[in-house]
Homo-oligomer: A and B are copies of this chain.
Amino acid sequence: MEKETKQNSATQIKVFKALADPIRLAIVTYLKQQDHEVTCGEVGAVVGISKTSGTYHFKLLQAAGLITARKVAREKYVQLDPTTFEQYVTDFYKNL
């Protein structure tokens, strides 16, 4: 059974834009290492940004589909979404 290969061009740009920034790359790197849900606060502390800046960057990553988020009481847990990486990054060149 083959995988789905239809790409959304607006999403494609959002994905590359989201990854084209050192802070967001640091966030993604940390989330990959953890390989499980972590709070925005934890990630923000690790990469050294303010809460406000965190809100901004997590929003872009989520809009690109690169992370999923789950709000639990006052905390927000985030995690990478590997399927988006696969579809829009890993498979980018072959689907071009």
Interface residues of A (CB under 8 A from B): 9, 12-13, 16-17, 19-22, 25, 28-29, 32, 82, 85-86, 89-94, 96
- Residue in B13, B22, B96 whose beta carbon sits within 8 Å of that of A22 in the complex: B13
- Could you list 4 further interchain pairs (A-B, Cβ under 8 angstroms) beyond the known A9-B22, A16-B19? A13-B25, A28-B96, A29-B96, A89-B89
Q: If the complex has contacts A86-B93, A96-B29, are A20 and B17 also in contact, measured as CB distance less than 8 A?
A: yes
Residues of B within 8 A of A96 (CB): 28-29, 32
- Residue in B13, B22, B82 whose beta carbon sits within 8 Å of that of A21 in the complex: B13
B25 A20 Cβ-Cβ under 8 A: no
Among residues of B, the one whose C-beta sits closest to the C-beta of A94 is B90
Complex: how many Å from CA A90 to CA B93? 7
